[in-house]
Amino acid sequence: MPIGPDIQRAVQLLEQGEAVAIPTETVYGLAANAYNEAAVLKIFQAKQRPAFDPLIVHVHSLEQVKEVVSFLNLDHEDTRKEAEALMEKFWPGPLTLVLPKTDRVPDLVTSGLDTVAVRMPAHPMALELLRSVGFPLAAPSANPFGYVSPTTAQHVADQLGGLIPYILDGGPCTVGVESTIIGWESDTGQWVLYRPGGTPVAEIEAVIGMIGRAKKRVLPASPGMLESHYAPRKPVYIGDVQAMMKEHAGKRIAVIAFSEKHDAQHSEVLSPTGDPTEAARHLFAALRKLDASDADVILAEIFPQKGLGAAINDRLHRASAKHN
């Protein structure tokens, strides 16, 4: 199945209404013309993604944001200024903003919500692609629904290879966890965190002040909030690894550790120097590798909460949710 760095080929396929895997700085996305519902439907089909889970729309410029975000529907002038300040500071980069949508965005993209999630990716190939096609790209992570996100073209090929016509290879993702998602909620007039990710919340709060934390609801406001998500097939447990190794004695054990190796059958150290940014970059490849190993269980350390550590802990917590 075709993988390669041919941007023109990706452009052509996207113009023809196909869904194509593309690199971003966070994770690989499965992209289609956000204005073409038939094309967007192919994303849902390939991923087996439920229709209640809306997609992120990717743009290449602050001008293009205005096609999809209705700034006029933000009641407060202050909020508009805050949104613009965030875009100025963090774009292109791993921050997604959920804001009121324009009529141009089809309901399929937003699952019928009157808001749209939008971001400007920092990967140079993604930006070049967006500029070439001219339309915004709806793109969730390029993995089957609920599984670990892909951070290399090969990860995408391993799972979606037969289902999509092209994987644009832009090398391994440099951030390695998905974007941070925050939204402005019109009922409370507040910014709320839906998903910790590649932009540390403290950096966002340095620009717009304290933001709220999303409450759990019957239907998630953002399926990135689903308890079990980003999950390998093998059971994952998170906590004190030494103690857990005793509990699971007799099993084949794989360990995900921050900076020091454990004496187990398989042990992945995410950052020998103890750098949470480097650890985030290596997290999903390590989870995939251990999921494909002969281990019976995956045990993960709790990471320091600073910097991207919060996003790592969030993903590990969800990876473990189905077994706890």
Closest CA to 309 of 278, 273, 288, 267: 278
Does 141 bind Mg ion (CB under 5 A)? Our answer is yes
**Between 152 and 222, CB nearer to ligand TXA:** 222
Q: Which amino acid is at 43?
A: I
Q: Which of ligand TXA, Mg ion, none does 64 bind, CB closer than 5 to 8 A by kind? A: none
Rounded Cα gap, residues 266 and 105, in angstroms:
46
Does 92 bind ligand TXA (CB under 6 A)? Our answer is no
Q: Which of ligand TXA, Mg ion, none does 29 bind, CB closer than 5 to 8 A by kind? A: ligand TXA
Does 35 bind ligand TXA (CB under 6 A)? Our answer is no
Q: Which of ligand TXA, Mg ion, none does 33 bind, CB closer than 5 to 8 A by kind? A: none
Q: Among 5-13, 112-120, 133-141, 215-223, which window interacts with Mg ion (CB under 5 A)? A: 133-141
The set of residues, in sequence order, having a beta carbon less than 8 Å from that of 69 and lying 6+ positions away, is: 83, 97, 99, 100, 101, 102, 116, 118
Does 271 bind ligand TXA (CB under 6 A)? Our answer is no
Pick the binder of ligand TXA from 43, 46, 97, 113 (CB under 6 A).
113
Q: Enumerate residues 78-117 that contact Mg ion by CB under 5 A.
A: none
Rounded Cα gap, residues 176 and 152, in angstroms:
9
Give me the least distance between CB of 134 and Mg ion, in Å please.
26
Phi, psi of 252 (to 5 degrees): -80, 125
Angle between helices 276-291 and 309-321 (to 10 degrees): 20
Question: Half-sphere exposure (CA, 13 Å, Cβ side) for 17?
Answer: 6
Question: What number of chain residues touch Mg ion (CB under 5 A)?
Answer: 1
Rounded Cα gap, residues 213 and 152, in angstroms:
31
**Between 111 and 324, CB nearer to ligand TXA:** 111
Give me the least distance between CB of 142 and ligand TXA, in Å please.
7
Does 230 bind ligand TXA (CB under 6 A)? Our answer is no
Rounded Cα gap, residues 43 and 47, in angstroms:
6
Pick the binder of ligand TXA from 136, 170, 224, 309 (CB under 6 A).
224
DSSP-assigned letters across all residues of 16-79: TT--EEE--SSS-EEEEETT-HHHHHHHHHHHT--TTSPPEEE-SSHHHHHHHB-GGG-S-HHH
Does 37 bind ligand TXA (CB under 6 A)? Our answer is no
Give me the least distance between CB of 140 and Mg ion, in Å please.
5
Binding site for ligand TXA (CB under 6 A): 24, 26-27, 29, 53-56, 94, 96, 98, 110, 113, 115-117, 121, 139-141, 178-179, 181, 183, 194, 221-224
